[in-house]
Structure 1
Amino acid sequence: MSTRAFHDLHVAGHPLVLPNAWDYVSAALLVDAGFAAIGTTSLGVAAARGLPDGHGVSRRATVELAVLLASLPCLVTVDIEGGFSDDPGRVADVVEELAAAGVVGVNIEDGRAGGTLADPARQSGIIGAVKARVPDVFVNARVDNYWVGVDAEVGATMARVRRYVDAGADGVFVPGRLDAAEIEALVAATAAPLNVLYLPGGLDTGELAGLGVRRISTGSLLFRTAVAAAVRAATTVRDGGTPTGSAPGYADIQRLCDREVC
């Protein structure tokens, strides 16, 4: 699968709806459902291993999962938090390793543990180092002003967006609960594709497409929904009931994992 094909999925009016997986089977089921591109969720990857998200401690788990997902018939982009290091060269090492495995994109965030934001000049240096080392990888620069509640307004967010695009970012991701006017302003601020986070109760995919958004991520929603469904099923059985809804059969999961590494 080519990185050019991934770029081409970011279409104005027909945004890429990117589901975020947390393990091999969740990704394989999403591919079976017809998704041509799969992302990972750093929360799901970290939490499934008992690790906190956003603290730069899940590099090994992230790379191991990426290697597995790269074997699937889809395009894979990986959430690498802040890059697992503040050193631009070490972040570039991670992305180079992922690219060698077949990953076509990465998501690099400027939010930091403790609800702070990275210095934009330093973050630009990280993005530049990654693009210099692996120029074909789609770098999605996440701008966390709204997400962490620091300088959560369009002007400050635009300033970071422009710096990161100037540093080589291929797209920008602004998660958080933005209104239509804020999204329109961000779309107009850069030629790079704008990625937003789908939030239940917020703007739907059609509305976001109409505003010019070119990528819509589910983030940790699928992981959290799956965990909640598992707990509901368990408590229903415990309490004498029958879980509702359908689930893949044992044979279905075995089929997905019928590969040499299993």
Structure 2
Amino acid sequence: MTAEPAPTPFASLHHRPGEPLLLPNAWDHASAAALAARGFPAIATSSLAVAAGAGLPDGRGATREHTLRLARTLGSEPYLLSIDAEDGFADDPGEVAALAHRLWDAGVVGINLEDGLGPAARHAAKIAAVKTAVPGLFVNARTDTHWLGDGDERDTLRRLDAYRQAGADGVFVPGLVDPGRIETLVRHLDVPLNVLYSPAGPTVPRLAALGVRRVSLGSLLYRRALGAALDAMADIRAGRAPAGTTPSYDEVCAPGKDTPASGPADSAR
């Protein structure tokens, strides 16, 4: 009898009872390094942040090369990296599998693939192709029944079952915030459930108690960073010192390799 392969370090983070993987989403080297320095063992990316940073639309398949470039930048770092790859940037399962292989070669250990409420069979075929091409890559299969649709429970279960049967290692239902529905899904599934954190939804301890195994932040941190920049400028214009956390110049340079050997440690630099 062939033994089951040992779970990868990234997969193991999804199997700690009562302690879901709290997965922050970064958008560049500086944000990822700062989050890793605060003790987060795994970092994900945000497709909205990648798209917005390039001046491109999110969810339209426009950022494939930008996503690959970011993966190459972050994939060699000491933290575990999961990439938000929209729907795989292609309808053809073979093309999605080829992308997954390139991400794996760059050091990526996880991929998030969304169905965009397209045909479940097509999304399942993409998942199966990726798992065949790169068995060690953790596939987090996202359904948008609550994000783009009306949250139909039967359709959600049907899609998640199809994706699990295709080989998904975990499933993701962004927009799901009702504790009762979350608990129902957890009881139904035999793979980790990922939900998107919402300030208006359950807290992380509450999600842990419901059995959620992964909590993603999506674009929240990026949008908060933009908001903090706007708030700081409003304070400065009004003659107030900006509030909030401001990393020093040296702290921001520290994760990189080009920190100046000398020069003024000016906090405004």
Q: What TM-score do the two structures reach when normalised by structure 1?
A: 0.94
Is the Cα–Cα contact under 8 Å of residues 77 and 105 in structure 1 kept in the other structure?
Answer: yes
1:235, distance to aligned residue in structure 2 (A) = 2.2
1:25 counterpart residue number: 30
1:131 counterpart residue number: 131
Q: Could you list the per-position Cα deviations for residues 156-213 of structure 1 after superposition, in whole angstroms to 9, with x for gaps in the alignment?
A: 1011000000001000000104311101111111111000000002100111001110
Aligned-residue identity in percent: 50
Question: Please, which of 80, 99, 102 is the counterpart of residue 97 of structure 1?
Answer: 102
1:227 counterpart residue number: 226
Letter in 2 for 1:57: A
Whole-Å Cα distance in 1 between the matches of residues 232 and 7 of structure 2?
40
Alignment of 1:150-189 (within 5 A): 150=150, 152-189=151-188
Letter in 2 for 1:42: S
Is the Cα–Cα contact under 8 Å of residues 171 and 195 in structure 1 kept in the other structure?
Answer: yes
Is the Cα–Cα contact under 8 Å of residues 20 and 218 in structure 1 kept in the other structure?
Answer: yes
Equivalences, count: 253
Q: What TM-score do the two structures reach when normalised by structure 2?
A: 0.91
SS across alignment from 1:106: strand
SS across alignment from 2:51: helix
1:114 counterpart residue number: none
Question: Please, which of 8, 14, 19 is the counterpart of residue 14 of structure 1?
Answer: 19
2:78 counterpart residue number: 73
The answer as to 2:36 corresponding to 1:4 is no
The answer as to 2:222 corresponding to 1:217 is no
Letter in 2 for 1:120: A
Is the Cα–Cα contact under 8 Å of residues 3 and 138 in structure 1 kept in the other structure?
Answer: no
Gap runs ≥5 in structure 2: 1-5, 260-269
Whole-Å Cα distance in 2 between the matches of residues 259 and 127 of structure 1?
40
1:248 counterpart residue number: 247
SS across alignment from 1:184: helix
Q: More displaced, 68-77 or 192-201?
A: 68-77
Whole-Å Cα distance in 1 between the matches of residues 76 and 136 of structure 2?
19
SS across alignment from 1:216: strand
Whole-Å Cα distance in 2 between the matches of residues 245 and 123 of structure 1?
42
Larger Rg: 2
